[in-house]
């Protein structure tokens, strides 16, 4: 692959995997290590083509209905959150069902349950047909109205009684701020969470791309088109001064005519090795400057169902005896290794195992 040879790269920090994605990818990697393939996953584990393709190589089958999972087969539910009936159906159908929902999405689901039980009408701001929005609306469908734009708010019938405002975790900060202010004007007594529903990783990455955009000739956003937080980064880059913005899945999608200073960031489900490959192809003559906005040290432990499995296996016999490729088998408190490296090691181990 030819180099582009730009002048300099400004690299956003933080970028790439967030704590929720780390947890979900590690969890599915551990499922692949514990169980013989195929392992099933309801919806894409995260919205990233590269990650999904890597898991497919490892024998994971992604399905859009629990009925597509053979009875008794192990199944994982994606990081975006699932409808209650989906969670229950997975438990009934599978011998092992693990829910890898991000804890921050779980927080939003809790808000929906509490507000609906207290008789509130809920205005939920999210992307229609996005997995997270579908799962959240399903928590209390009779109490929620999903809107995506200010125009849709204007078109809503007037609500009488208590009103709550809740959002998808991966929205653009600017879009959320605009629609939130309009809702508050319309319903001055509306309930909102004390702590924003927007994921801290989403906001941190958007703040970093704001810094990049005013200082770069072009901005490259690494991530897939169905990733809400990636699209939010792309929109933020355009709004805050980048003349040219390119969303790519990997280095092979970079334009050949990039010049000058190029800002680089990655959505919360984009692996770091893809970031490195993009920078390698850009081949900046004057190196890479990292633009630090904040440090992220959050760690989410594995889902409780998976922790229980690991405890049982550990009690029965060492994991090394159960799993020949034990060099990448985790413990239930593995917070030190990053998910991208764990997945990469497993792929490399698989490749070695099939060599003639």
Task: Sketch out the chain's domains with CATH numbers.
Answer: 8-17+200-292 (3.40.1010.20), 19-101+305-334 (3.40.50.11270), 104-186 (3.40.1010.20)
In this prediction, residue 177 carries a pLDDT of 94
224 close to 48: Cβ distance less than 8 angstroms: yes
Q: Answer whether residue 355 shows pLDDT above 50.
A: no
Q: What proportions of the chain, in percent to the nearest 5, are helix, strand and coil?
A: 45, 15, 40
In this prediction, residue 310 carries a pLDDT of 81
- Average pLDDT in the 33-47 region? 95
Query: Tell me: the pLDDT tens digits for 83-94?
Result: 999 999 999 999
- Average pLDDT in the 154-167 region? 95
- Average pLDDT in the 129-143 region? 97
Task: Kindly indicate the confidence band of residue 356, based on its pLDDT and cuts at 50, 70 and 90.
Answer: very low
Q: Distance between CA atoms of 245 and 233, rounded to whole angstroms? A: 10
60 close to 100: Cβ distance less than 8 angstroms: no
134: left (phi over 0), alpha (psi -120 to 50) or beta: alpha
Q: Answer whether residue 66 shows pLDDT above 70.
A: yes
Task: Kindly indicate the confidence band of residue 349, based on its pLDDT and cuts at 50, 70 and 90.
Answer: low
In this prediction, residue 339 carries a pLDDT of 75
In this prediction, residue 313 carries a pLDDT of 75
Question: Mean pLDDT of all residues in the chain?
Answer: 91
Token pair 């399903």 in the structure block, residue: 138
Task: Kindly indicate the confidence band of residue 118, based on its pLDDT and cuts at 50, 70 and 90.
Answer: very high
Q: Is 44 a catalytic residue?
A: no
Work out whether the CA dihedral 150, 293, 79, 56 comes out positive or negative. positive
- Average pLDDT in the 258-268 region? 97
In this prediction, residue 319 carries a pLDDT of 44
Task: Kindly indicate the confidence band of residue 352, based on its pLDDT and cuts at 50, 70 and 90.
Answer: low
Which of 22, 44, 111, 132 is an active site residue?
Answer: 132
Q: Answer whether residue 231 shows pLDDT above 60.
A: yes
- Average pLDDT in the 322-345 region? 58
Among residues 94, 105, 100, 162, the alpha carbon closest in space to that of 139 is found at 105
Q: Answer whether residue 333 shows pLDDT above 80.
A: no
Q: Distance between CA atoms of 94 and 22, rounded to whole angstroms? A: 24
Task: Kindly indicate the confidence band of residue 317, based on its pLDDT and cuts at 50, 70 and 90.
Answer: very low
Burial 62-80 (b: 16+ CB within 10 A, else e): beeebeebeeebbbbbbbb
247 close to 257: Cβ distance less than 8 angstroms: no
Q: Answer whether residue 174 shows pLDDT above 80.
A: yes
Q: Answer whether residue 132 shows pLDDT above 80.
A: yes
pLDDT, greater one: 168 or 311: 168
Q: Answer whether residue 108 shows pLDDT above 70.
A: yes
Q: How many CB atoms lie within 10 A of CB 12?
A: 29
What percent of the chain stands above pLDDT 70?
90
Among residues 250, 199, 208, the alpha carbon closest in space to that of 13 is found at 208
Rounded to two decimals, the pTM is: 0.88
Q: Distance between CA atoms of 25 and 79, rounded to whole angstroms? A: 9
In this prediction, residue 326 carries a pLDDT of 46
- Average pLDDT in the 203-212 region? 96
Q: Distance between CA atoms of 121 and 165, rounded to whole angstroms? A: 9
């Amino acid at each position: 692959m030819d180099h582009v040879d730009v002048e300099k790269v400004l690299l956003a920090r933080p970028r790439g995997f967030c704590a929720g994605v780390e947890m979900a990818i590690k969890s599915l990697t551990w499922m692949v290590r514990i169980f013989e393939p195929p392992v099933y996953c309801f919806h894409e584990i995260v919205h990233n083509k590269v990650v999904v393709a890597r898991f497919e190589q490892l024998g994971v089958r992604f399905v859009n209905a629990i009925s597509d999972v053979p009875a008794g087969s192990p199944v994982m539910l994606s990081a975006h959150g699932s409808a209650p009936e989906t969670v229950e159906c997975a438990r009934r159908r599978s011998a092992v069902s693990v829910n890898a929902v991000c804890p921050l999405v779980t927080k939003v689901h809790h808000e929906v349950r509490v507000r609906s039980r207290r008789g509130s009408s809920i205005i939920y701001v999210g992307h229609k047909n996005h997995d997270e929005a579908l799962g959240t609306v399903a928590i209390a469908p009779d109490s929620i109205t999903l809107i995506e734009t200010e125009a849709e708010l204007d078109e809503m019938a007037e609500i009488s009684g208590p009103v709550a405002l809740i959002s998808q975790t991966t929205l653009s900060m600017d879009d959320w701020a605009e629609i939130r202010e309009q809702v508050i004007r319309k319903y001055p007594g509306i309930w909102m969470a004390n702590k924003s529903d927007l994921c801290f990783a989403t906001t941190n990455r958007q703040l970093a791309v704001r810094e990049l955009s005013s200082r770069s000739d072009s901005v490259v956003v690494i991530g897939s088109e169905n990733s809400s937080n990636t699209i939010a980064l792309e929109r933020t880059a355009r709004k805050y001064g980048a003349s040219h913005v390119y969303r790519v899945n990997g280095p092979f999608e970079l334009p050949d005519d990039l010049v000058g200073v190029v800002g680089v960031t990655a959505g919360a489900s984009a692996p770091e090795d893809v970031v490195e490959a993009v920078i390698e192809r850009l081949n900046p003559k004057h190196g890479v400057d990292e633009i630090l906005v904040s440090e992220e040290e959050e760690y989410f432990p594995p889902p409780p169902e998976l922790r229980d499995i690991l405890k049982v296996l550990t009690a029965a016999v060492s994991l090394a005896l159960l799993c020949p490729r034990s060099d990448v088998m985790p413990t239930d408190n593995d917070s030190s290794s990053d998910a991208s490296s764990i997945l990469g090691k497993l792929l490399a181990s698989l490749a070695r195992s099939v060599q003639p």
